[in-house]
Structure 1
């Protein structure tokens, strides 16, 4: 078994494939296979180059920014952007959402829209934090709570 290809070696192979159209087989090129692979190679090579440019912070006059938390990745920002780490902001918002009180879960199947318990109910596909299924009225909400 051969060793895995490095990203640099893969990019070099993609570029070679994108440049060497004279070695294509006419048998497969005519059915579109070689043409499709050529397009894929060029697209992937361009995508990888764009990704690397972003990683280095050279794209469109932006600069790299890094949070003091090692688990947060480097991101790009405009020179005049003074906002903090987007991952720290997500953590803050998630903590605020987790701190919000949650309504109690019903003990019996109950429509989440109108509170009805007596009519035919259908599952919504959503679940309460405990894992219990959420329901809505099967036809239209009756508003009748039994």
Structure 2
């Protein structure tokens, strides 16, 4: 696989309702995520969810995924997030990218066509397989689950 600093090519097909919108792009030189914009006007009520159209489909190279992540400013200022964050777009999906947004705030959130709604991060996929065993090796943590390592730093 190419180095993370060498961009992979993701082919993008613009759909009719996405004409005139910007292609997902990095806002700064060292940004990890590309901003993606809405292809429609929509208002999401408090507690509501909506799959926002982006106006494009894409072909992700085999061995990669595109992760859809919330924008930190929308999360902090308005309570707008993704209920399935990070969302995964698989290399074999060819339909329109829609971003599932949720309004965790206390006011309706208005999205205008062209507003930045999420970030896209291209990431390599590591395939795995499971091997059933009778026992697992011991660790210091063992089977300690949620919160078992505490809150305070040592």
TM-score (norm 1): 0.19
More helix by share: 1
More strand by share: 2
Higher relative contact order (CA 8 A, sep 6+): 2
Select the structure of larger CA radius of gyration.
1
TM-score (norm 2): 0.18
